[in-house]
Chains A and B, each alone.
Chain A
Amino acid sequence: AQSVTQPDIHITVSEGASLELRCNYSYGATPYLFWYVQSPGQGLQLLLKYFSGDTLVQGIKGFEAEFKRSQSSFNLRKPSVHWSDAAEYFCAVGGSGSSASKIIFGSGTRLSIRP
């Protein structure tokens, strides 16, 4: 069964600084990987996803993530954060085959932006 870990509960970065949010997954084969964002009081929105192919994926709002099979990681990055990026970020993993339908989320990382 797949699982996902987000080791950072809360991160604060200065506006304009770069950002990296960590995500580690556990799955025996190539997983499906997702990053979602939840703004305060809002629902969840997909930022980007990885299924196969190029390991560097681009998403919305200037985010990107890199799949590293050797490290079982799918870290989210942004070169320069904006105050509007303050939100909670969730990494999620789905398996392949019959496990593709079971999408498991991590516990989330809350991002605060320092003016």
Chain B
Amino acid sequence: NAGVTQTPKFQVLKTGQSMTLQCAQDMNHEYMSWYRQDPGMGLRLIHYSVGAGITDQGEVPNGYNVSRSTTEDFPLRLLSAAPSQTSVYFCASGRGDRGPYEQYFGPGTRLTVT
């Protein structure tokens, strides 16, 4: 199993550009999530999904969109990038019927917005 994979590993965007961060898992987990990690602020939850077709907002959803058309994939879209979105983004997946009993994290995507 590859676990949780994220692409790209690094990305530089100009302000106003859009892009999609890809996340895929091959563990048949119902639950998937996106976090951003900034120095001194830990991980902040952006969006999460408890199954295909179901998504919900986390702590910091503004400026990001998600969809969950399959169990395996959970892409994160930046609609119009801003310097405040410079961060490291982690995708995670987990099994659990009411919430993830354990989350498995991907390696992260380091995004810089200039």
On A, residues with C-beta under 8 Å from B are 6, 9, 32, 34, 43-46, 49, 51, 90, 92, 94-97, 99-108
Contacts and interface: CB of A to CB of B under 8 A. Distances in A.
A49 B95 CA distance: 14
A103 B42 contact: no
Contacts of B43: 44, 90, 92, 105
11 contacts: A9-B40, A43-B106, A44-B90, A44-B103, A49-B102, A100-B99, A101-B48, A102-B45, A103-B33, A104-B45, A105-B44
A94 B31 CA distance: 13
Interface in B77-114: 90, 92, 96, 98-103, 105-108
Given A94-B100, A97-B98, A101-B56, 5 more contacts: A44-B92, A44-B105, A90-B42, A100-B99, A101-B31
Nearest to B100: A103
A35 B105 CA distance: 14
A7 to B, nearest CB: 13
Contacts of A99: 99
A63 to B, nearest CB: 15
A3 B21 CA distance: 27
A44 B88 CA distance: 13
B98 A100 contact: yes
A17 B40 CA distance: 26
B41 interface: yes
A102 B46 CA distance: 10
B100 A51 contact: no
Nearest to B40: A107
A94 B24 CA distance: 23
A46 B103 contact: yes
A97 B2 CA distance: 31
Contacts of B50: 101
A107 B41 contact: yes
B1 to A, nearest CB: 15
A6 B106 CA distance: 24
B45 A103 contact: yes
B96 to A, nearest CB: 7
